[in-house]
Amino acid sequence: MSSNPIEEALANPQPAPDFAQPGDIGPETGRSGEDDYDRFPPGCPITPLGNMQDLTGKQTCFYLNYNGQLVGLEAGNRHGKNGLIALFGPKLGWLEANFGQYSKPVREQIAGKGWVEVEPSRLIGFDQAKSAQALIVECVRKGVFDPAGRLRGRGAHRPEKGAGGLVLHCGDKILASVPRVDGTLKGWRWADTGLHERYVYQSAEPIPRPWHEEIDARPAEKLLALLQTWNWKRPLLDPILCLGAIGAGMIGGALPWRPHVWITGGAGTGKSTLNGKDGLVHRLFGNGVFRTSDTTAAGIRSSLKNSTVPVMIDELEAAKDSRHTDAIVGLARIASSGDTASRGSSDHGAVEFTLQSSFWFSSIIIPPMEPQDRSRLAILELGPIPQGAKEPEALRTTDFGVMGRQLLRRMIDGWPRLVATKAKFHAQLAELGHVSRACDQFGTLLACADVLISDDVHAVPSDEDIAHWVAECRPQRMAEIAESDPDHVACIKYMLTSLQQARGGDEREQIGTWIWRAVEHSCETLMPGETENDQARRANERLSQIGLKIVRAERKPPAGKSPARWGVGPFDQSVPGWLAVANSHRGLDKVFEDSNWRSAGWKQSLARVPGAETGVDMKFGHVKSRAVLVPLCEVFDEADLPKACAAEAVTSWVAEQKREVG
């Protein structure tokens, strides 16, 4: 123990006392009102939290009951005898001791003695009216309590104070970090569930606690060696990402970013042994996981409530009607950065759900999904297990329940340096060319894996160690990124590959074929005296019927109060070419009617194309409309276009036009 009292005080800070605030009622006596009412008796086995009133006048008092769960009792008629019995459970003796109800004494008239008490008054229970009154008054005295945003279920959470801290809710107990004055972590302490800071940690079924003592990297190394026995598509990287996902799932609710995993592979790849019910990963998490193979987004929300435990969903296969899958993947999208979801309840109130869990999906075929959802996943693909390969003995002999607790302890001990480790991975991934979301996704997985297998759980890894794993995450190797098109690219592809029929009886052709014909014929050599190729004109007329046209851009000088603007003219291969797309057109409505770009959504998406010009006035089939001009180099391969249509030439030409015209 330190002999320096200042050093000792800094190492063991004590909470500051609650000072009076403006408007607080003082402790003076003799005043009417609150001070005239008996103070709430000490030692109450349940916790009054406060009350809340809605617009209808309904007043609800909130308590933590004997089992540590939140209970809301309406002040008007829900504080009856049975309601209080359910609230206090076996601790009813406290109500009897403080609000006892006594029987009347029994008296008999005896000759020569008069009335004699033959049976004294005795305790027969508690006074329901006085008990209810005291509880309601105490809730009002505590102030307004709104459960929204204040309930925390099982799993990891960030504390209200101390940005670098962690709270682990294990169901019947919570483990909380203890900060020093400078914000660093001093240690950990166990506490009962209940009200901590401003959050209510409700009691629930216990889940595995961290191992009781510090653990070295051997359990994680054993697990990594076991994971490497599967036939991964990326043999070096995928087992590490899977290990990191296991660590991240255990503390997901406290992470700034929650990575998700999709295990995919055909029959005979060992997918179920790894990720199925009672598979390796499931046994590591124990009952600290929500697992299902047939559920809905609403089912997941209502099962999780305010919990942050990992979510494992089996066999989420592609289906003709994708709404079910889309809704579940949408929950994972929200959970990545962490948020809450609200839904109406049967009593017209709002029910709030916490979405801060890591999701594990598995399927033979990954359903189609939006790029923003795909980029939130680590897609771990399994190949067939080689014929004659034996099941690793460790799958039969390892106590994965114990190993899971050891890994959780490892993540707890490594928590203070996890943020710094992730920041270093993030920086190097960004230098490699990854966008911010990919840096969050893979940086978090790699950082969690490093915490588990590092020789020193307290030391941040060196730049060389980080560079080794970052080199395995080159963007072109990552199917999660390389196979995902930006929204504007996906929009163009959708439009080009849509089938159209020019006239009844004609063969249906892709719109891209029509556009290419207009470009190709416009590039043909004209005969003397010709001003426009007839085939190019007919192709453009056909395109105009659905709101498209191949044009050249013309910079119009300012006129009066109108600034310089873009106009269009016939396509000329000596200058950059553009695909004009009407902002609003019934032909395009038909093309995009079943897509994400319906209802003129294509206008917003195409405006994001590099070099696109918006708000250009022109005509489609003699009908005036505003349009987006998309450079042809963003529609077709530059090698197939005139040199004037190359991206570099377009940029230079546009800059020159703006310099000359304004």
pLDDT along the chain (662 residues), means of 10: 67 68 53 61 94 88 94 90 94 94 85 79 91 94 90 92 84 92 84 92 95 95 96 95 97 94 91 90 95 84 91 80 83 86 54 85 86 86 88 92 97 94 95 91 96 92 93 85 78 92 76 89 60 71 91 88 88 91 94 89 93 93 92 92 92 91 80
Q: Is residue 209 part of a domain?
A: no
Q: Please tell me whether residues 118 and 229 are part of one structural domain.
A: no
Give Cα 648 distance to the centre of its chain: 39
Distance CA 242, CA 261 (A): 8
Q: Where are the alpha helices (DSSP H) in 382-533?
A: 394-397, 400-413, 415-431, 436-453, 463-470, 479-482, 487-497, 511-522
Q: What is the pLDDT of residue 305?
A: 87
Q: What's the whole-model pTM score?
A: 0.79
For the chain, count helices (H), then strands (E): 23, 28
CA distances from 333 to 164, 262, 291, 375, 435 (A): 24, 13, 18, 10, 17
**Which pairs from 62-68 meet CB under 8 Å and 24+ separation?**
62/139, 62/145, 62/147, 63/87, 63/135, 63/139, 64/194, 64/195, 64/200, 64/202, 65/89, 66/90, 66/91, 67/203, 68/192, 68/193, 68/194, 68/202, 68/203
Structure tokens at 219: 């359990």
Residues 71, 203: contact at Cβ < 8 Å? Answer: no
Q: Where are the beta strands (DSSP E) in 65-113?
A: 70-74, 100-102, 106-110
Q: What is the pLDDT of residue 133?
A: 94
Q: Where are the beta strands (DSSP E) in 316-358?
A: 339-344, 350-355
CA distances from 27 to 31, 32, 33 (A): 9, 12, 12
Sign of CA dihedral 217, 223, 226, 228: negative
Q: What is the pLDDT of residue 31?
A: 47
Residues 126, 100: contact at Cβ < 8 Å? Answer: yes
What CATH number did the domain enclosing 446 receive?
Answer: 3.40.50
Task: Give 3-state DSSP helix, strand, coil % of the chain, rounded to 5.
Answer: 40, 20, 40
Contacts of 141 (CB under 8 A, 6+ apart): 34, 40
Q: Is residue 192 part of a domain?
A: no
Element (H, E) at 157: strand 155-157
* Domain span at 501: 487-661
Q: Please tell me whether residues 442 and 513 are part of one structural domain.
A: no
Structure tokens at 292: 């299902």
Distance CA 94, CA 303 (A): 34
Distance CA 78, CA 86 (A): 11
Q: Please tell me whether residues 445 and 406 are part of one structural domain.
A: yes
- Nearest residue to 579 via CA among 496, 655, 505, 658: 496
Instruction: Provide the Cα torsion 397, 399, 403, 406; round to 10°.
Output: -130
- Nearest residue to 245 via CA among 441, 482, 480: 441
Give Dmax over CA atoms of the chain in angstroms: 147
Structure tokens at 1: 């123990």
Distance CA 11, CA 14 (A): 10
Q: Is residue 183 part of a domain?
A: no
Q: Please tell me whether residues 577 and 471 are part of one structural domain.
A: no
Distance CA 425, CA 211 (A): 28
Structure tokens at 563: 């600034």
Q: Please tell me whether residues 421 and 334 are part of one structural domain.
A: yes
Q: Please tell me whether residues 576 and 544 are part of one structural domain.
A: yes
Q: What is the pLDDT of residue 349?
A: 52
Q: Looking at the DSSP assignment, which residues form a beta bridge with residue 618?
A: 625
Residues 382, 231: contact at Cβ < 8 Å? Answer: yes
Number of domains in the chain: 3
Q: Please tell me whether residues 381 and 245 are part of one structural domain.
A: yes
Q: Is residue 187 part of a domain?
A: no
Q: Please tell me whether residues 309 and 366 are part of one structural domain.
A: yes
Boundary residue ending a domain (428, 460, 482):
482
Q: What is the pLDDT of residue 524?
A: 66
Q: Is residue 15 part of a domain?
A: no
Residue with tokens 């990575």: 259
Side chain identity, residue 98: N
Distance CA 539, CA 349 (A): 59
Q: What is the pLDDT of residue 204?
A: 93
- State the DSSP code for 126: E
Angle at alpha carbon of residue 313, lines to 317 and 249, rounded to 5°: 135
Q: Please tell me whether residues 468 and 497 are part of one structural domain.
A: no
Q: Please tell me whether residues 419 and 472 are part of one structural domain.
A: yes
Q: What is the pLDDT of residue 341?
A: 65
- Nearest residue to 544 via CA among 591, 598, 588, 608: 588
Contacts of 579 (CB under 8 A, 6+ apart): 515, 548, 549, 550, 629, 630, 631, 632, 635
Distance CA 265, CA 314 (A): 12
Distance CA 141, CA 139 (A): 5
- Nearest residue to 409 via CA among 227, 188, 201: 188
Would you say how long the chain is, in residues?
662
Q: Please tell me whether residues 46 and 130 are part of one structural domain.
A: yes
Burial of 400 (0-12, 13-18, 19+ CB in 10 A): buried
Q: Is residue 199 part of a domain?
A: no
Residues 356, 335: contact at Cβ < 8 Å? Answer: yes
Boundary residue ending a domain (92, 113, 142):
142
Distance CA 382, CA 261 (A): 13
Q: Is residue 149 part of a domain?
A: no
Residue with tokens 């849509």: 498
Q: Is residue 154 part of a domain?
A: no
Boundary residue ending a domain (142, 163, 195):
142
Q: Please tell me whether residues 478 and 505 are part of one structural domain.
A: no
Q: What is the pLDDT of residue 602?
A: 93
Distance CA 148, CA 155 (A): 18
